[in-house]
Structure 1
Amino acid sequence: MAEITFENVSKRFGDTVAVDDVSFRVADNEFFCIFGPPTSGKSTILRLLLGLETPDAGDILIDGKSVLGVSPAGRNVAMVFQNLALFPHMTTENNIRFPLVERGQPAETIAPRVAEVAEKLHITPLLKKMPAQLSGGERQRVAIARALVRDPVAYLMDDPISALDARLREETRVELKRIQRELGHTLIYVTHDQEEAMSVADRMAILEHGAIRQIDTPEAIYDRPASRYVARLVGSPPINLIPGVVRTGRFETDDGALRIDLDRGGFAHDGPVDLGVRPEDVRISPPDADGAAAARVYEVEPLGGFTIVDVEMSGQILRAMLRGQPPIRANEPVGLSIAPSSIHLFARDSGATLFADTRG
């Protein structure tokens, strides 16, 4: 159990800045997710914490004590690497028990611990098999089990379930969340999958080019993104962005097809902006509905419990997410409207949030 702190940590590889003045604190027993696209610095942060890399600047603390200069073994953190790193000459059981054997734990305590973790991850029938006999998803679960079998101060996981199929990913991430709560240990989880990050994290950090753009709960980041970059990164389908201008409290597209009165007092910005609206907040109505902008259905994607409707307005495709399976067909004229309470406005040049959805 541990509190982990990064203080102004930077790391370069030649001319490439992998981690850029990063500061954050992970509370004891927190499920903390680091989320960003490939090459954003996620794995480097884990390697710095594990001790496989040394920062060029800043400090890393575990329970208030700097671990700079402390060996990876001395930091007592368990890591699940993306490439798994299983021992090919050992059975599944021996791979899982290896960390306990290395630490000299008695055999009578190792066997029940291995059995317990194997059962939680549904790999008990695989214990006598060699890694070469396992599928990619099975090897990934063995690597997770090898980390969970220990009693470290924290668990680090680098995209640990990427090789699993969709259904098994859902089951495994639910299990990881439950196991983390049962064990009462800090867990830092790296992923490029925003659905994983949103579903498991107590808090999450959004990375871009090695820098942290926002740290908050998944709900707060979704409803109140700090920038256009964060808003586009979180959400599926992605947020719609509509270029336009704000004049005296009203947003308008360049051709005037869509107008929205901004009903939040104190908003004094005038000038070019990008309006963001989540697909679930786009309203589709009959074409003659009062106050609706004229649009045309471009494509319809029925997905069972909800339907994605792509609509064309002013030469731009916007996505709406509607419940159920509404009787909407491609090429039909429709009305499109957006409630002022559900919009986000971003500065056109910097992408910074001017104001955002305040639900929640």
Structure 2
Amino acid sequence: MASIAFRNVTKRFGDTIAVDNVSFEIADNEFFCLFGPPLSGKTTILKLILGLERPDEGEVLIDGKPVNHVSPARRNVAMVFQNLALFPHMTAEENVRFPLVERKMSSDEIAPRVADVVEKLHIGHILHKSPAQLSGGERQRVAIARALVRDPVAYLMDDPISALDARLREETRVELKRIQHELGRTLVYVTHDQEEAMSVADRIAVLENGVIRQVGAPSDIYDNPNSAYVAGMLGAPAMNLIDLDPDRPSALGGALPLEGITVPAGATKIGIRPEDLTVGYDGGGAGKAVEVYEVEPLGGVTIVTLQSEDTTLRAMVRGQPQIRPSSEVSLSVANGQACFFNGQGEALSA
């Protein structure tokens, strides 16, 4: 078991700064997610933890000890790569057993550990096959099993379930969360899928261009983003970011009245989650009407896309209301259900 910490770590590749003066701590037995778009530095951070890359500046610590000059083998960290890296000449079972065989463990020790992870990941029916005979999802589960069968101080996973179909991806992330708690090990998980990050992580680090923009519990980041960038990263549909009207308490040219809403000094944008944007279709709204552009019924909720002059925004409405494209509706938001940002995109307190 181990904690992991970065202290002012920078990693460059030529003129490109992949990780820029990053500092954070991962607690022992924490499910920690690195979340951000492609090329934001997520995989580089994993490689720095594993020891495949060394920082140009700063320190990486595992269990409180600097490991900048410790080889990957001596760090005792298991990694599931995005490209899986299974041995093509071995069967799935031989791939899973390989880390234990390399440690010269006896067959009596290997068998129960392999059987345990095979059952957890439901791959017993494919153990006899080679990687070339497996689907992408099956190969990913074999790679995860190979990492789990070890007894490392931490697990690192680089977008490990991206090739699975939606249903299996949902099942697997639930299993990973359960397995991580059962094993009592630190797990560092990379993803660009915000739903995945929100559902599995104890804490999330949101990255942009090699910089960590915010670290916190998923619910804290969702409810209290510290910037417009972070606000737009979490949530499906994403938060609506709308310019405030300059001369009155409203937005969208008066279509979104803000009387009774506490607007902090210096705010230039208001951010509203789709579920907090109230759509009125009974003609009783206080502001001018906006046009319904599209309606997406999803069973329990309906996503309504709205158009107001040059601004497109989305609302999430319960059930299946009688709203049609090209109709007109009114908008409102309750006090305390909006975020505000200044011209630099920084969150402001009301």
Same fold (TM over 0.5): yes
Determine the structure 2 residue equivalent to 1:330. Answer: 325
Q: Against the structure 1 CA distance between its residues 245 and 77, is the aligned structure 2 distance closer, same or farther, given a 3 Å change threshold? A: same
Alignment size in residue pairs:
350
Other-structure match for 2:94 = 94
Q: Percent identity?
A: 64
1:261 matched residue in structure 2 = 259
Q: State the secondary structure of the residue aligned to 2:336.
A: helix
One-letter amino acid of the counterpart of residue 75, structure 1: R
User: 1:283-334 deviations in whole A, cap 9, x for unaligned?
Assistant: 1113531424411211111111211111222342211111111111111121
Contact 2:33–2:191 (8 Å) recurs in 1: yes
Shift of 1:256: 3.0
What is the Cα deviation at residue 268 of structure 1? 4.8
CA distance in 2, matches of 1:193, 1:286: 33
The equivalent residue for 1:286 is 281
Q: Which amino acid aligns with 2:182?
A: E
8 Å Cα contact 2:255/2:331 also seen in 1: no
Q: Which segment drifts farther, 61-70 or 292-301?
A: 292-301
2:294 alignment partner in structure 1 = 299
- SS across alignment from 2:162: coil
Distance 1:212 1:151 in 2: 30
- Amino acid corresponding to residue 178 of structure 1 in structure 2: R
Q: TM-score, length-normalised on structure 1?
A: 0.94
**Equivalent pair of 2:255/2:287 in contact (CA under 8 Å):** no
Q: Does 1:351 align with 2:345?
A: yes
CA RMSD, 1 decimal:
1.5
CA distance in 1, matches of 2:325, 2:317: 15
Q: Give the counterpart letter for 1:48 in structure 2.
A: L
Distance 1:232 1:225 in 2: 9
Q: Conserved in 2, the CA contact under 8 Å of 1:43 and 1:158? A: yes
Question: How far, CA to CA, are the matches of 1:193 and 1:110 in structure 2?
Answer: 35
Deviations 1:249-282 (Å, cap 9, x if unpaired)? x632363333213644xx65146x1111011111
CA shift, 1:341, in A, is: 1.4
| 1-structure distance, mates of 2:36, 2:260 | 31
Q: CA deviation at 1:79?
A: 0.2
- Whole-angstrom distance in 2 between the partners of 1:289 and 1:154: 57
Residues 224-246 of structure 1, C-alpha deviations (whole Å, 9 max, x = no match): 00100000011000111111246
Q: Is the 8 A contact 1:257 1:314 kept in 2?
A: no
* 1:74-104 deviation digits (Å, cap 9, x = unpaired): 0000000000000000011110010011112
CA distance in 2, matches of 1:103, 1:294: 69
One-letter identity of the residue aligned with 2:329:
V
Single out whichever of 308-317 and 90-99 deviates more from structure 2: 308-317
Stretch moving more, 283-292 or 326-335: 283-292
In the aligned structure 1, how far is the partner of 2:285 from the partner of 2:132? Answer: 65
2:281–2:323 contact (8 Å) kept in structure 1: no
Are residues 315 and 268 of structure 1, via their aligned partners in 2, closer, same or farther at CA, if it must alter by over 3 Å? Answer: closer
Paired residues of 1:28 and 1:185 also in contact (CA < 8 A): yes
> What is the distance in 1 between the residues matched to 2:287 and 2:80?
51
- 8 Å Cα contact 2:252/2:308 also seen in 1: no
Q: State the TM-score, normalized to the length of structure 2.
A: 0.97
**Unmatched 5+ residue regions in structure 2?**
none
Measure the CA separation in 2 of the matches of 1:175 and 1:215.
Answer: 24
Secondary structure of the 2:249 match is: strand
| Cα 1:319/1:244, change in 2 over 3 Å | same
The offset of 1:355, in angstroms, is: 3.1
1:336 Cα shift? 1.2
Residues 118 and 145, structure 2, Cα contact 8 Å, conserved in 1: yes
Structure 1: give runs of 5+ residues left out of the alignment. Answer: none
Match of 1:148 in 2: 148
Aligned position for 1:201: 201
Distance 1:91 1:290 in 2: 65
> 1:176, 1:231 → 2: CA distance?
27
8 A contact 2:255–2:330 mirrored in 1: no
Counterpart in 2 of 1:63?
A: 63
CA distance in 2, matches of 1:256, 1:165: 44
Q: Is the 8 A contact 1:287 1:333 kept in 2?
A: no
